[in-house]
């Protein structure tokens, strides 16, 4: 693996974050324009000489409505993003069931984090704990006020001091490299798209069963056609939103390079001064990974080892193709050669 310095990694993550910030509004506005275009296309038509309905897209009308909707869409997305960005810490805590840990609660863990922070001259992050007998850990946050290292009760109990130092050093390196800021940004973006998609799908479902004219008495064929066209528009919008959301998720997974985990492993080994201890910790975690109850896939990207990456067969192959984490055995092998 080609060596990449920490400052280079930080610069790359900052550039990717900026690209995501610029790309997301473009995608959102594209969805709005497509919605207006589909509404215009299917909502207006005429019968040709053979009695067939011919639909025509009036781009000028679509653009006019798009210009009117533009400030509302931008303002709505900006407010939504700002709220999610500022509340990211509570979002992650809610998704994982984490709670704060103080020095009084666990002096051993607190002192390990504090000593490692002093070693690399960084501010002390918040320490959270998840009541889970299995093993896992992750870092999160976007700034000094929200930077957090979260550990399961299992990992604190089953790893010795050297192994735990390697794991915590790994997570502190994620914070130092601004990996967590990049991940939180992608989580917010994907979350907004997922919510919009869910709303559209629910609209389609409710219209089909309760408000779409199914089972109702229709006074004319035109009413039936209008209801049918409305269903087509909503269906198309739902498909577009789902496709864009899935595509954007895949793009963010590839944008969040797997090299960040190798970099964090190297940083954890350097901070703890014991690469073999981190390798041993990864081996223990991979044999019994915790946080399997976390339902949000975007949050699971934060974990030091993703539980789903431990699956076998076809799912293992699919996870390896789109995984944000490299193979654990490869990480252990590199650490053993450190």
pLDDT tens column, 147-165: 999 999 999 999 999 999 9
DSSP 301: T
pTM of the predicted structure, to 2 decimals: 0.73
Give residue 40's pLDDT: 78
Which SS3 state, helix, strand or coil, does residue 73 take?
helix
pLDDT of residue 261: 85
Does the annotation count 329 as an active-site position?
Answer: no
Highest average pLDDT, of 57-66, 87-96, 273-282, comes from 273-282
Alpha-carbon distance of 74 to 63, in angstroms, equals 16
What band does 23 get if pLDDT is binned at 50, 70 and 90? confident
Q: Which of 171, 270, 297, 329 is catalytic?
A: 171
What is the model's pLDDT at position 155?
96
What integer best gives the mean pLDDT of the chain? 78
Render pLDDT for 177-223 as a digit per residue (tens, 0 to 9): 888 887 777 777 777 777 776 776 776 667 666 654 444 444 445 55
User: If you average pLDDT over residues 100-129, what whole number do you get?
Assistant: 95
Q: How confident is the model at residue 265 (pLDDT cuts 50, 70, 90)?
A: very high
* 77 vs 225 pLDDT, higher one: 77
Residue 303 and residue 291 in contact, taking contact as beta carbons nearer than 8 Å? yes
Give the H/E segment covering residue 85: helix 59-86
| Residue scoring higher pLDDT (295 or 211) | 295
| pLDDT value of residue 316 | 46
Lowest mean pLDDT across 42-56, 91-105, 177-191, 212-226: 212-226
Domain extents for the chain?
87-338
> What's the rounded Cα separation, in Å, for the pair 141 and 183?
9
Angstrom distance (rounded) from CA 138 to CA 153: 13
Percentage of residues of the chain with pLDDT beyond 90: 30
**Among 20-29, 70-79, 300-309, which stretch is predicted with the lowest mean pLDDT?**
20-29
* pLDDT of the residue at 79: 84
Instruction: Tell me the pLDDT band of 9, cut-offs 50, 70 and 90.
Output: low
Q: What is the pLDDT of residue 105?
A: 94
- Which residues, at least 6 apart from 36, have a Cβ–Cβ distance to it below 8 Å? 62, 65, 66, 69
User: Which of the two residues, 85 and 262, has the higher pLDDT score?
Assistant: 262
Sheet arrangement for strand 148-152: 99-100, 126-130, 148-152, 137-140
Is the pLDDT higher at 176 or at 206? 176
Choice among 38-47, 115-124, 279-288 with the minimum mean pLDDT: 38-47
- Tell whether the model's pLDDT for residue 166 goes beyond 70: yes
Say what the pLDDT of residue 70 is.
86
């Amino acid at each position: 693996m080609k060596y990449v310095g920490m400052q280079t990694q930080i610069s790359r993550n900052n550039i990717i974050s900026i690209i995501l910030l610029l790309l997301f509004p473009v995608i959102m506005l594209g969805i709005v324009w497509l919605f207006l275009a589909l509404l215009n296309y299917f909502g207006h038509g005429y019968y040709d000489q053979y009695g067939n309905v011919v639909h025509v897209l009036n781009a000028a009308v679509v653009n006019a409505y798009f210009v009117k909707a533009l400030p509302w869409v931008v303002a709505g997305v900006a407010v939504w993003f700002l709220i999610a960005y500022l509340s990211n810490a509570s979002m992650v805590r809610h998704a994982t069931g984490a709670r704060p840990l103080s020095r009084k609660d666990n002096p051993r863990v607190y002192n390990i984090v504090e000593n490692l922070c002093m070693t690399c001259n960084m501010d002390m992050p918040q320490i959270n704990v998840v009541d889970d007998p299995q093993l896992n850990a992750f870092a999160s946050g976007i700034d000094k006020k929200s930077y957090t290292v979260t550990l399961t009760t299992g990992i604190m109990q089953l790893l010795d001091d050297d192994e735990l130092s390697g794991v915590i050093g790994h997570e502190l390196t994620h914070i130092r490299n601004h990996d967590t800021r990049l991940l939180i940004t992608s989580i917010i973006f994907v979350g907004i798209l997922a919510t919009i998609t869910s709303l559209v799908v629910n609209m389609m479902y409710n219209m089909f069963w309760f408000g779409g004219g199914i089972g109702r008495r229709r006074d004319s064929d035109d009413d039936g056609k209008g209801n049918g066209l409305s269903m087509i528009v909503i269906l198309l919008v739902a498909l577009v939103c789902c496709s864009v959301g899935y595509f954007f998720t895949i793009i963010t997974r590839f944008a969040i390079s797997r090299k960040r985990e190798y970099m964090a492993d190297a940083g954890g080994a350097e901070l703890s001064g014991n690469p073999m201890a981190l390798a041993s910790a990864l081996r223990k975690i991979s044999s019994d990974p915790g946080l399997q109850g976390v339902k949000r896939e975007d949050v699971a990207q934060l974990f030091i080892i993703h539980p789903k990456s431990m699956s076998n067969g076809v799912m293992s192959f699919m996870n390896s193709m789109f995984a944000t984490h490299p193979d654990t055995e490869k990480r252990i092998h590199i650490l053993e050669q450190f």
